Amino acid sequence: MFRFTLGPAMAALIALTCQAGAQSSAPQVATKKVDGTDNVYMVRYGGHQSIFIVTPQGVIVGDPISYLRPAKPLIDEIRKVTDKPIKYVIYSHHHYDHAAGGKPFKDMGATFIGHRLLKQRWMDLKKQNALLSDVVMPDEVVDRKKTIKLGGTTVELIYTGINHSDNSLVMLLPKEKVVFVVDFAPIESIQFRNIPDNSSPLAYVESLKKLEALDWNIMVPGHPYAGGRWGTKKDVQDDIAYLQDLSAATKKAADEGKCFDTAVKEIKLPKYESWAGYATGLGANVERFCYWWGRGY
């Protein structure tokens, strides 16, 4: 009998092909109820996630996450759960991959809320004729904190300071002890590239500390990190530790005159090498801290 034996390279190729096939067959849009809650849901649309809360008087939605793709699949997913009207859409921050494409929600009568600086940024873009057409300007703005009450549910919109953007809002449900946090508190992942829209990386750490101090048990993130699990207080504490370790290592390099290129090449943080993005993104994180410690901004 003829027996065919796969070599290691061919076996690896087949494994990768099967894995890619499994990923492509995964549903593009999916919803699940947040653990321990009766009316709070997370919806995933591709590689982005949002949150919606169903109340007897209507629905509160987080980011519209429909940039460069139709919003209908996201709306259809909400409609699988409830036919209640969508009353509010809350922007986590201004970045288009989470905030663009809200027009279909506006057409349904939703009130849009975002941070004051988000609206200011978009107004500047509008004056330059550079704002995307599907972006909906906030009807109401938040400075430090705003509370929404609808159908017996309370949602607190909290500004914890400058982090991944200068206008990020946390959605906190105090009764359910759930927070929706987008981009600035990744789970088992390094920070995004060169930490955009941040004038002070040290302010970023303070923002994370304010998030950690809020009263919550489950964090719903804006992307399916670490296999799609919920976030915990420890995840935020780990983010703080990472940025502090990165800051210390970069300051030392800056003091030795190694910023930028040498520091980017030499700084390694083995404690975090298992985190997503470490191999490809650590250098950009170092570069951002080099701007702070090596240039003063």
Share of the chain above pLDDT 90, in %: 86
**pLDDT, tens digit, for every residue of 94-149?**
999 999 989 999 999 999 999 999 999 999 999 999 999 889 999 999 999 999 99
Of the pLDDT bands very low, low, confident and very high (cuts 50, 70, 90), residue 297 is confident
Q: Tell me if residue 236 falls in helix, strand or coil.
A: helix
Q: Are 142 and 115 in contact (CB under 8 A)?
A: yes
Q: Tell me if residue 275 falls in helix, strand or coil.
A: coil
The pLDDT value recorded for residue 26 is: 55
Rounded to whole angstroms, how far apart are CA atoms 107 and 173?
A: 26
Q: DSSP alpha helices (H): ranges in 155-277?
A: 201-213, 233-255, 261-266
Nearest residue to 63 (alpha-carbon basis) of 136, 166, 140: 136
Rounded to whole angstroms, how far apart are CA atoms 20 and 18?
A: 5
**pLDDT, tens digit, for every residue of 233-290?**
999 999 999 999 999 999 999 999 999 999 999 999 999 999 999 999 999 999 999 9
**Mean pLDDT rounded to a whole number for the chain:** 92
The CA-CA-CA angle for residues 244, 268, 240, to 5°, reads 20
